[in-house]
Amino acid sequence: MENEVLRIEHLHKEFEGNVILKDLNLTVRRGEVIVVIGPSGCGKSTFLRCINALEDIQGGQILLDGHPVRRDAKDVTQMRQKIGMVFQSYDLFPHKTILHNITLAPEKVQKRPRAEAEKEAMELLERVGLADRAGDYPRQLSGGQKQRVAIVRALCMHPEILLLDEITAALDPEMVHEVLEVVVSLARLGSTMLIVTHEMAFARAIADRVLFLDGGEIVEESSDPKAFFTKPQTPRAQAFLKTFDYE
Protein backbone atom coordinates (compact mmCIF):
# COMPACT_ATOMS: atom_id res chain seq x y z
CA MET A 1 0.00 0.00 0.00
CA GLU A 2 1.55 3.32 -0.95
CA ASN A 3 -0.13 5.28 1.82
CA GLU A 4 1.07 2.94 4.46
CA VAL A 5 3.07 4.46 7.33
CA LEU A 6 3.28 1.67 9.84
CA ARG A 7 2.96 -2.05 9.43
CA ILE A 8 3.03 -4.47 12.32
CA GLU A 9 3.36 -8.15 11.51
CA HIS A 10 2.89 -11.00 13.96
CA LEU A 11 4.11 -8.94 16.90
CA HIS A 12 4.82 -11.18 19.87
CA LYS A 13 5.94 -9.93 23.26
CA GLU A 14 6.71 -11.91 26.38
CA PHE A 15 7.99 -10.89 29.75
CA GLU A 16 9.36 -13.47 32.18
CA GLY A 17 7.35 -16.24 30.60
CA ASN A 18 4.09 -14.28 30.44
CA VAL A 19 2.76 -13.60 26.99
CA ILE A 20 1.79 -9.93 26.82
CA LEU A 21 1.09 -9.48 23.12
CA LYS A 22 0.07 -12.33 20.82
CA ASP A 23 0.45 -12.21 17.08
CA LEU A 24 -0.68 -8.61 16.58
CA ASN A 25 -1.11 -7.37 13.04
CA LEU A 26 -1.91 -3.82 12.07
CA THR A 27 -1.43 -1.51 9.14
CA VAL A 28 -1.71 2.23 9.62
CA ARG A 29 -2.24 4.51 6.64
CA ARG A 30 -1.10 8.11 6.45
CA GLY A 31 -3.54 10.45 8.17
CA GLU A 32 -5.35 7.66 9.91
CA VAL A 33 -6.35 7.91 13.57
CA ILE A 34 -6.48 4.57 15.32
CA VAL A 35 -7.76 4.26 18.85
CA VAL A 36 -6.79 1.28 20.98
CA ILE A 37 -9.05 0.47 23.89
CA GLY A 38 -9.25 -2.39 26.32
CA PRO A 39 -9.21 -3.27 30.00
CA SER A 40 -6.23 -2.50 32.25
CA GLY A 41 -3.38 -4.89 31.72
CA CYS A 42 -4.54 -5.92 28.26
CA GLY A 43 -1.21 -4.88 26.80
CA LYS A 44 -2.25 -1.69 25.03
CA SER A 45 0.46 0.49 26.57
CA THR A 46 3.06 -2.20 25.97
CA PHE A 47 1.88 -2.30 22.38
CA LEU A 48 2.68 1.42 21.92
CA ARG A 49 5.99 1.04 23.73
CA CYS A 50 6.98 -1.79 21.39
CA ILE A 51 6.28 0.38 18.37
CA ASN A 52 8.71 2.96 19.72
CA ALA A 53 11.24 0.22 20.55
CA LEU A 54 11.11 0.98 24.24
CA GLU A 55 10.44 -2.73 24.75
CA ASP A 56 12.14 -5.81 23.37
CA ILE A 57 9.96 -7.99 21.21
CA GLN A 58 10.20 -11.74 20.95
CA GLY A 59 8.69 -12.20 17.53
CA GLY A 60 7.31 -10.50 14.45
CA GLN A 61 8.33 -7.14 13.12
CA ILE A 62 7.44 -3.47 13.11
CA LEU A 63 7.98 -1.55 9.90
CA LEU A 64 7.89 2.22 9.63
CA ASP A 65 7.83 3.30 5.99
CA GLY A 66 8.98 -0.23 5.23
CA HIS A 67 12.00 0.03 7.50
CA PRO A 68 12.25 -2.22 10.57
CA VAL A 69 12.17 -0.64 14.03
CA ARG A 70 14.23 -2.67 16.44
CA ARG A 71 15.44 -1.85 19.93
CA ASP A 72 18.84 -3.43 19.30
CA ALA A 73 19.33 -1.93 15.84
CA LYS A 74 21.99 0.71 15.24
CA ASP A 75 19.49 3.08 13.66
CA VAL A 76 16.97 2.91 16.49
CA THR A 77 17.51 6.57 17.39
CA GLN A 78 16.90 7.60 13.78
CA MET A 79 13.72 5.55 13.70
CA ARG A 80 12.49 6.99 16.99
CA GLN A 81 12.82 10.49 15.60
CA LYS A 82 10.08 9.59 13.16
CA ILE A 83 7.84 8.26 15.90
CA GLY A 84 6.48 10.82 18.35
CA MET A 85 5.36 9.57 21.72
CA VAL A 86 3.50 11.22 24.57
CA PHE A 87 3.29 9.43 27.92
CA GLN A 88 0.70 9.42 30.65
CA SER A 89 2.87 11.28 33.16
CA TYR A 90 3.89 14.14 30.83
CA ASP A 91 7.52 13.73 31.91
CA LEU A 92 8.81 17.10 30.73
CA PHE A 93 12.46 17.79 31.54
CA PRO A 94 12.22 19.67 34.86
CA HIS A 95 15.49 21.56 34.45
CA LYS A 96 14.55 23.14 31.13
CA THR A 97 12.09 25.86 30.29
CA ILE A 98 9.01 25.00 28.26
CA LEU A 99 10.63 26.38 25.11
CA HIS A 100 13.84 24.44 25.66
CA ASN A 101 11.95 21.25 26.44
CA ILE A 102 10.57 21.53 22.95
CA THR A 103 13.70 22.63 21.11
CA LEU A 104 16.20 20.31 22.84
CA ALA A 105 15.76 17.33 20.53
CA PRO A 106 15.32 19.33 17.30
CA GLU A 107 18.57 21.15 18.09
CA LYS A 108 20.71 18.38 19.53
CA VAL A 109 19.35 15.37 17.66
CA GLN A 110 18.20 16.78 14.33
CA LYS A 111 20.88 19.49 14.39
CA ARG A 112 18.44 22.17 13.29
CA PRO A 113 19.45 25.81 13.79
CA ARG A 114 18.29 27.14 17.15
CA ALA A 115 16.40 30.11 15.69
CA GLU A 116 14.42 27.90 13.35
CA ALA A 117 13.58 25.36 16.07
CA GLU A 118 12.50 28.11 18.45
CA LYS A 119 10.35 29.75 15.80
CA GLU A 120 8.53 26.52 15.13
CA ALA A 121 8.22 25.76 18.85
CA MET A 122 6.62 29.17 19.41
CA GLU A 123 4.17 28.64 16.56
CA LEU A 124 3.17 25.28 17.98
CA LEU A 125 2.85 26.70 21.50
CA GLU A 126 0.66 29.43 20.05
CA ARG A 127 -1.58 26.77 18.56
CA VAL A 128 -2.09 25.04 21.91
CA GLY A 129 -2.56 28.38 23.67
CA LEU A 130 0.64 28.33 25.70
CA ALA A 131 2.92 30.79 23.90
CA ASP A 132 2.96 33.03 27.00
CA ARG A 133 4.39 30.18 29.11
CA ALA A 134 7.45 29.56 26.91
CA GLY A 135 9.88 30.90 29.53
CA ASP A 136 8.33 29.05 32.47
CA TYR A 137 9.53 25.81 34.00
CA PRO A 138 7.38 22.66 33.92
CA ARG A 139 6.68 22.84 37.67
CA GLN A 140 4.87 26.16 37.13
CA LEU A 141 2.33 24.58 34.79
CA SER A 142 -0.82 22.57 35.47
CA GLY A 143 -1.04 18.94 34.40
CA GLY A 144 -3.13 19.78 31.36
CA GLN A 145 -0.71 22.48 30.28
CA LYS A 146 2.26 20.15 30.75
CA GLN A 147 0.57 17.51 28.65
CA ARG A 148 -0.08 20.03 25.85
CA VAL A 149 3.61 20.94 25.97
CA ALA A 150 4.53 17.25 25.78
CA ILE A 151 2.42 16.96 22.63
CA VAL A 152 4.11 20.01 21.12
CA ARG A 153 7.51 18.58 22.06
CA ALA A 154 6.73 15.41 20.11
CA LEU A 155 5.28 17.37 17.16
CA CYS A 156 8.30 19.61 16.80
CA MET A 157 10.32 16.57 15.67
CA HIS A 158 7.97 16.22 12.64
CA PRO A 159 7.12 12.59 13.36
CA GLU A 160 5.51 10.34 10.76
CA ILE A 161 3.22 8.99 13.43
CA LEU A 162 2.25 10.08 16.92
CA LEU A 163 1.71 7.55 19.71
CA LEU A 164 -0.41 8.81 22.61
CA ASP A 165 -0.30 6.57 25.66
CA GLU A 166 -3.24 7.36 27.98
CA ILE A 167 -2.31 10.99 27.90
CA THR A 168 -5.27 12.11 30.00
CA ALA A 169 -5.22 9.32 32.58
CA ALA A 170 -3.24 11.32 35.15
CA LEU A 171 -5.21 14.54 34.69
CA ASP A 172 -7.97 16.11 36.71
CA PRO A 173 -11.26 15.80 34.83
CA GLU A 174 -11.49 19.51 34.00
CA MET A 175 -8.13 19.37 32.26
CA VAL A 176 -8.90 16.37 30.11
CA HIS A 177 -10.88 18.45 27.67
CA GLU A 178 -8.18 21.02 26.92
CA VAL A 179 -5.74 18.23 26.07
CA LEU A 180 -8.12 16.19 23.96
CA GLU A 181 -9.13 19.30 22.01
CA VAL A 182 -5.51 19.61 20.91
CA VAL A 183 -5.55 16.00 19.75
CA VAL A 184 -8.79 16.56 17.84
CA SER A 185 -7.29 19.56 16.06
CA LEU A 186 -4.23 17.47 15.13
CA ALA A 187 -6.50 14.83 13.65
CA ARG A 188 -8.21 17.50 11.55
CA LEU A 189 -4.81 18.61 10.27
CA GLY A 190 -4.15 15.07 9.08
CA SER A 191 -1.73 13.75 11.70
CA THR A 192 -1.33 10.00 11.78
CA MET A 193 -2.00 8.84 15.32
CA LEU A 194 -2.23 5.71 17.38
CA ILE A 195 -4.04 6.51 20.60
CA VAL A 196 -4.51 4.47 23.75
CA THR A 197 -7.25 5.97 25.87
CA HIS A 198 -9.97 5.36 28.43
CA GLU A 199 -12.03 8.32 27.22
CA MET A 200 -14.72 6.53 25.26
CA ALA A 201 -16.57 9.63 24.05
CA PHE A 202 -13.28 10.99 22.72
CA ALA A 203 -12.40 7.65 21.12
CA ARG A 204 -15.73 7.55 19.37
CA ALA A 205 -15.39 11.10 18.07
CA ILE A 206 -11.84 10.90 16.79
CA ALA A 207 -11.24 7.32 15.64
CA ASP A 208 -11.10 6.26 12.02
CA ARG A 209 -10.60 2.77 13.33
CA VAL A 210 -10.97 1.18 16.75
CA LEU A 211 -9.00 -1.76 18.05
CA PHE A 212 -10.28 -3.60 21.08
CA LEU A 213 -7.43 -5.37 22.83
CA ASP A 214 -7.90 -7.98 25.52
CA GLY A 215 -5.47 -10.54 26.89
CA GLY A 216 -2.76 -9.35 24.50
CA GLU A 217 -4.69 -9.89 21.28
CA ILE A 218 -6.93 -7.87 19.02
CA VAL A 219 -10.36 -9.15 19.87
CA GLU A 220 -12.33 -6.78 17.68
CA GLU A 221 -11.38 -4.28 15.04
CA SER A 222 -13.81 -1.84 13.49
CA SER A 223 -13.52 0.89 10.92
CA ASP A 224 -16.92 2.18 11.93
CA PRO A 225 -16.43 3.55 15.45
CA LYS A 226 -20.04 4.67 15.79
CA ALA A 227 -21.22 1.15 15.09
CA PHE A 228 -18.57 -0.34 17.35
CA PHE A 229 -19.46 1.78 20.33
CA THR A 230 -23.19 1.31 19.84
CA LYS A 231 -23.15 -2.37 19.05
CA PRO A 232 -19.89 -4.22 19.47
CA GLN A 233 -19.77 -7.63 17.85
CA THR A 234 -17.81 -9.69 20.33
CA PRO A 235 -19.01 -10.57 23.84
CA ARG A 236 -15.74 -9.39 25.39
CA ALA A 237 -16.04 -5.94 23.80
CA GLN A 238 -19.69 -5.80 24.83
CA ALA A 239 -18.75 -6.61 28.42
CA PHE A 240 -15.96 -4.04 28.41
CA LEU A 241 -18.09 -1.20 27.02
CA LYS A 242 -20.81 -2.00 29.49
CA THR A 243 -18.47 -1.07 32.34
CA PHE A 244 -18.71 2.55 31.16
CA ASP A 245 -22.48 2.67 31.41
CA TYR A 246 -24.41 3.72 34.46
CA GLU A 247 -28.09 3.12 34.42
Q: Which residues in this chain contact another protein in the complex, by CB under 8 A?
A: 52, 54, 77-78, 80-81, 83-85, 87, 89, 91, 93-95, 104-105, 108-110, 150, 153-154, 157
Q: Which is nearer to another protein, 78 or 185 (CB)?
A: 78
Q: Which is nearer to another protein, 186 or 210 (CB)?
A: 186
What is the SS3 assignment for 18? strand
Q: Which is nearer to another protein, 78 or 230 (CB)?
A: 78
Q: Which is nearer to another protein, 1 or 95 (CB)?
A: 95
User: 171: which DSSP letter?
Assistant: S
Please name the residue ranges forming H helices in the chain.
44-51, 76-81, 98-108, 114-127, 143-155, 173-188, 200-206, 225-230, 235-242
State the minimum distance, in angstroms, from the CB of residue 233 to another protein: 34
State the minimum distance, in angstroms, from the CB of residue 244 to another protein: 28
State the minimum distance, in angstroms, from the CB of residue 138 to another protein: 12
Query: Counting Cβ atoms within 10 Å, is residue 111 exposed (0-12), middle (13-18) or buried (19+)?
Result: exposed
What is the SS3 assignment for 187? helix
CB 210 within 8 A of CB 32: no
State the minimum distance, in angstroms, from the CB of residue 83 to another protein: 8
User: 38: which DSSP letter?
Assistant: -
